[in-house]
Structure 1
Amino acid sequence: MTAPGPLLARFGLSWPGFSLDVDLTLPGQGVTALFGPSGSGKTTLLRCIAGLERPAQGRLVVQGQTWQDGRLWVPPHRRPIGYVFQEASLFAHLSVLGNLRYGLRRSGLDGSPQATQRLEQAIGLLGIGHLLERRPDRLSGGERQRVGIARALAVCPRLMLLDEPLAALDQRRKEEILPYLERLHRELDIPMLYVTHAPQEMARLADHVVLLEQGRVVQSGPVADTLSRLDLRLGEEQGAVVEAVVDALDPEWHLVRVAFDGGQLWTRDPGATLGQRVRVRVLARDVSLARHPPGASSIQNLLPAQVVELAQDEHPGLALVRLRLGNSHLVARLTRRAAAELGIAVGQPVWAQVKSVALMR
């Protein structure tokens, strides 16, 4: 099966106090996160792709189809996209099913076999079948957002645009909806652009990350490479992700071991199965370093590594250390005094002690 073509986006626009100047080639599948501080241009870029902004200079190609180039301009209503906003904005006088069908009528797809099949699929994937007769005022925030995502999927999009879809939810509702977003990622072959300012969402969902700052692209690459950058200032969320495979289960202690090309890590068993591909996240605060293998310790994840980069952290007393383990990377946060006493330097072999590991998916 031929892989879908990439998304090519080149835009230039200027407003008083802000300009957007991007030239991107993005994967034609999976989830691409647009990440950066407020005002960096994430939503503006998304709106340009949707056709809600029309920059004077721009070119947009989605899976081989040109939507913008010079005088060529495909208007928003003719672009096969699903757009999910921070708020679902459902019609209060319609039931959930009525809201879903309204979106189909607006797109001209209501009644078509393809749209009917996709609507049923979206209802099943997002677990909203029991909500179809309810009005929006009888839905929780997480339920409303799941309906909003289903509405966007029902129009058979070739591209999904999600603009901070969890930003308006509390932590409990975010945890409720994240598994559904992961399920969409696994089961649908629709590329998604996902705007977020939450490192946890990016680490959990994204395959590719675009870092934006003041309307410019700072970095664009795979999530594992991007999250381990030392100039990505994330405070307590600083860390790295590693793609791994479950290679051992310990039912006595309720632990699971995951293997990657840089070693093995034990963590709590969330109900994993042998051979399952998983993503693990390791925060910098949970990694300590030693020059020699330590003796008996409660930290049971001990990995040989090599120092590849050093940087001062946001606090002047702290340092960040980027480590290479095979083809993977981890980040450690140390006090600068500890780094000096250990003589930490680029190229030096060290032992990484990993206190905690989180299975993301």
Structure 2
Amino acid sequence: MTLSVSLSHRFPDFALDLSFDAPEGITVLFGRSGSGKTTAINSVAGLLKPQRARIVMGDETLNDTDSQIFVPVHKRRMGYVFQEARLFPHLSVRQNLEYGQRFAPSGAKGPSTAEVAALLGIAPLLDRVPSGLSGGERQRVAIGRALLSRPRLLLMDEPLAALDGARKAEILPYLERLRDQVALPILYVSHSVAEVARLATTMVVLEEGRVARAGPAEAILSDPDMVRQIGVREAGAVLPARVKRHHPDGLTELEASGGRLFLPRMETEEGTATRVRILAQDVILSNTAPEGLSALNILKATVISLREGTGPGVVVQLSAGEDKLLARITRRSAEALAITPGDTVYAVVKSVSIARVDIGTA
């Protein structure tokens, strides 16, 4: 089921005017604070009546200002997960989950409480109260409550923003499982590149209330033009890969279309599809096949383009097999290598530079 959104709305100091489609999987609305992400998701939820809108979910029109159609919030059948879990403090985890079931239409199909608890890893918590849970556990309960309302679409407005790094790392695998195992479109608001790289199947980039670009997350993140949007330190590409084998020395070998990658051991079964994010600043380029290096990850690649910034850096876009990579090097290095589009180079990546938070299931 696809969600199609087209809307415009003017505030005294801000104008929103955008259109995008959200297919199955996780569609991330990405952008800086104030770009219109929450306004857009609240319009989809029905919490805001845009001045002009046409919002269609599947074959149902939820909002069409030209035809004076506006389906109220309680009839849209959407689950909404906010930054804060907003659990009832006097109810147990089980009772909070069962509260979500009150909003499920009679006869609507979906996972049971036990299945949701297993999916989100909260089965051992059912008899506890929210005050005894960590932030990540509370958010998982909030997601479970939303799922048990049998929604047709799940809305998530920066659900990890209030969590520290450890709690984010705790909950991300469950969001991946939700994406991969529940046939439910998810519209997810975030300004975190790491979250987008791990979770997004589709990416909608907002700038000042407008869609700057939209499409598959891998294609957008590997676009050199995104460096301006996300900053040079966060710029990088996402590569689909498959776990090939676990080696006795503690390394896991991944197979990507451009070659093999070695990472510290992953607790993932061999054959599992995954994806890794490689930061542009962690890629070194060589004109010839490197020898005598300690680096294990060396991919043969072709130069696609070179983009100079305002500083001393150059962002080089590369193709390695069917995938694209970014490398950030100095202008002096680019001139010394004398690389131009079409040249063959070797991209060297340290295994330790591919952080655990940047490894996800696909």
Q: Normalising to structure 1: TM-score of the pair?
A: 0.92
CA distance in 2: counterparts of 1:137 and 1:256, whole angstroms: 39
Query: Is it true that 1:346 corresponds to 2:341 in the alignment?
Result: yes
**Unpaired segments ≥5 residues, structure 2:** none
Residues in 1 aligned to 2:254 and 2:16: alpha-carbon distance in whole angstroms = 42
Matched residue SS, 2:62? strand
- TM-superposed CA distance for 1:306, in Å, is 1.4
**How many percent of aligned residue pairs carry the same amino acid?**
46
Shift of 1:41: 0.7
In structure 2, which of residues 209, 214, 221 is the aligned counterpart of residue 227 of structure 1?
221
Kindly state the Cα deviation for residue 115 of structure 1 after the two structures are TM-superposed.
Answer: 7.0
Tell me what 1:360 maps to. Answer: 360
Structure 1 unaligned residues grouped into runs of 5+: none
The alpha-carbon deviation at position 114 of structure 1 amounts to: 4.9
* Residue of 157, 167, 175 corresponding to 1:163: 157
Q: Are 2:301 and 1:290 equivalent residues in the alignment?
A: no
Cα pair 1:115 1:155 within 8 Å, conserved: no
Question: Displacement, 1:238?
Answer: 1.4
The residue type paired with residue 43 of structure 1 is T
Instruction: Indicate whether 1:63 and 2:58 are aligned.
Output: yes
CA distance in 1 between partners of 2:232 and 2:156 (Å): 25
Runs of 4 or more consecutive aligned structure 1 residues displaced over 4 Å after TM superposition: 112-117
Tell me what 2:30 maps to. Answer: 35
Q: Give the one of 234, 238, 241 matched to 1:241.
A: 238
Give CA deviations for 1:306-329 in whole Å, capped at 9, x if unaligned: 111222347x12221111122210
Q: CA deviation at 1:246?
A: 2.4
Residues 248, 141 of structure 1: CA spacing in aligned structure 2 closer, same or farther, 3 A cutoff?
A: closer
Matched, 1:134 2:131: no
The 1:187/1:108 distance shift into structure 2, 3 A limit, reads closer
Tell me the C-alpha RMSD between the 2 structures.
Answer: 1.8
| Residues 1:191 and 2:185 are matched in the alignment | yes
Partner of 1:276: 272
Matched, 1:74 2:71: yes
- Counterpart selection for 1:21 from 3, 17, 22: 17
Is residue 87 of structure 1 aligned with residue 84 of structure 2? yes
- Whether the aligned pair in 1 keeps the contact of 2:176 and 2:360 (CA below 8 Å) is no
Matches of 1:185 and 1:108, distance apart in 2: 21
Q: Tell me the equivalent position of 1:319.
A: 314
Number of corresponding residues: 351
Q: 2:250 aligns with which of 248, 254, 267?
A: 254
Conservation of the 8 A alpha-carbon contact between 1:115 and 1:154: no
The question of whether the paired residues in 2 share the 8 Å contact of 1:118 and 1:153 is answered with no
158-167 or 281-290: which moved more?
281-290
Spell out, residue by residue over 1:114-156, the C-alpha distance to the aligned partner (whole angstroms, 9 max, x if none).
5785333222211222322322222221121111111111100
- Does residue 117 of structure 2 align to residue 123 of structure 1? yes
- Quick check: 2:104–2:151 contact (8 Å CA) kept in 1? no
Q: Structure 2 vs 1, CA of residues 37 and 130 (structure 1 numbering), >3 Å: closer, same or farther?
A: same
- State the distance in 2 between where 1:103 and 1:323 align: 47
Cα offset, 1:47, TM superposition:
0.5
- Alpha-carbon separation, structure 2, partners of 1:44 and 1:94: 31
- Spell out, residue by residue over 1:10-55, the C-alpha distance to the aligned partner (whole angstroms, 9 max, x if none): 011111111111111221x111111110000111110011011111
> 1:15 and 1:300 mapped to 2: Cα distance?
53
Aligned to 1:265: 261
Q: Is the 8 A contact 1:96 1:133 kept in 2?
A: yes
State the secondary structure of the residue aligned to 1:195. strand
Q: Distance in 2 between matches of 1:352 and 1:7?
A: 39
Taking structure 2 as the reference length, the TM-score comes to 0.92
